[in-house]
Amino acid sequence: MTTYGSFPGTRPRRLRSNPVMRRMVAETRLHPADLILPAFVREGVSEPVPIAAMPGVVQHTRDSLKKAAAEAVAAGISGIMLFGVPEESKKDAFGTPGTDPDGILQVALRDVRAEVGDDLLVMSDLCLDETTDHGHCGVLDAQGRVDNDATLERYAEMAQVQADAGAHVVGPSGMMDGQIGVIRDALDQIGREDVAVLAYTAKYASAFYGPFREAVGSSLQGDRKTYQQDPANARESLRELALDLEEGADMVMVKPAGPYLDILARVADAVDVPVAAYQISGEYSMIEAAAEKGWIDRDRAILESLTGIKRAGARNILTYWATEVAQKLREQ
């Protein structure tokens, strides 16, 4: 046989010859502890409400949310990120349910902490979009623009009520300038230095959020391009990263995950804090829809997508498949 370079002596296929060999030499491994479950809880419903745009995902009742949290503990995942969906009549221009101790998110935080204690990290979305009648992530000025500094005052109050309700981790997702420092100060002022801040450091103005709008009953008018990042930009993420770390972020996140693996890799290479990525609703729904039509193998596609996110540098992944995937990983 003619020799070309190191072939035939060198044959990489030897390391792909059977399942045990492939498992032994795998460079990236998913583990249940890598995963965090985003979950929605809706005020005023007696049964879980299916989300049409996200097959298999529901808006929970308080009771079904507690059950989901217990299942997450049993599956071995690390956390649950809670999003509250208040009754439409309670929304207002300032997102009052977000700072009401009896608002649905704060009630759900207390419920889940009572159910799981410290066996699961209970995380809270810290943003106003679910609670405002205009659907933006902050309060508006007289011209209808999101007022960055006025919004920070609301975020500070939200951080305190969420910590009082039992959040181990708060996740500021609004992309306001200065939000991490303001939230860290607000938590420290009430003696909650123990509450961690997961910064949504690189959150892009993405088309892939579409199904999420239904999940949280969004009232959004317009778009969020003045505060979420432009999908065309990469270096901007590193600037946001430096600012978040300077302001005291304990962990950082890239969102969405799949379309921004290059950003995720750059962020992961640049820091020594844990890096998370959020596999968002559109990423989830595309796989579910294609699988429903028989175009792809659902289970393989799910695992491949998550492996790619971890390979790019994510320590933790927020995914709507968290509990399901963790259960399967534990069975292997």
Catalytically annotated residues? 203, 255
Could you please report the per-residue DSSP string of 149-177? HHHHHHHHHHHHHHHHHT-SEEEE-S--T
Of 329, 321, 297, 328, whose CA–CA distance to 56 is shortest? 321
The set of residues, in sequence order, having a beta carbon less than 8 Å from that of 109 and lying 6+ positions away, is: 82, 122, 124, 162, 165, 166, 167
Answer whether 145's CB lies under 8 Å from 192's CB: no
Residue 301 CB-density burial (10 A; 0-12 exposed, 13-18 middle, 19+ buried)? middle
Radius of gyration of the chain measured on its C-alpha atoms: 21
| CA 318 – CA 136 distance, rounded (Å) | 22
| CA 179 – CA 181 distance, rounded (Å) | 6
The set of residues, in sequence order, having a beta carbon less than 8 Å from that of 45 and lying 6+ positions away, is: 59, 61
Residue 287 CB-density burial (10 A; 0-12 exposed, 13-18 middle, 19+ buried)? buried
SS3 19: helix
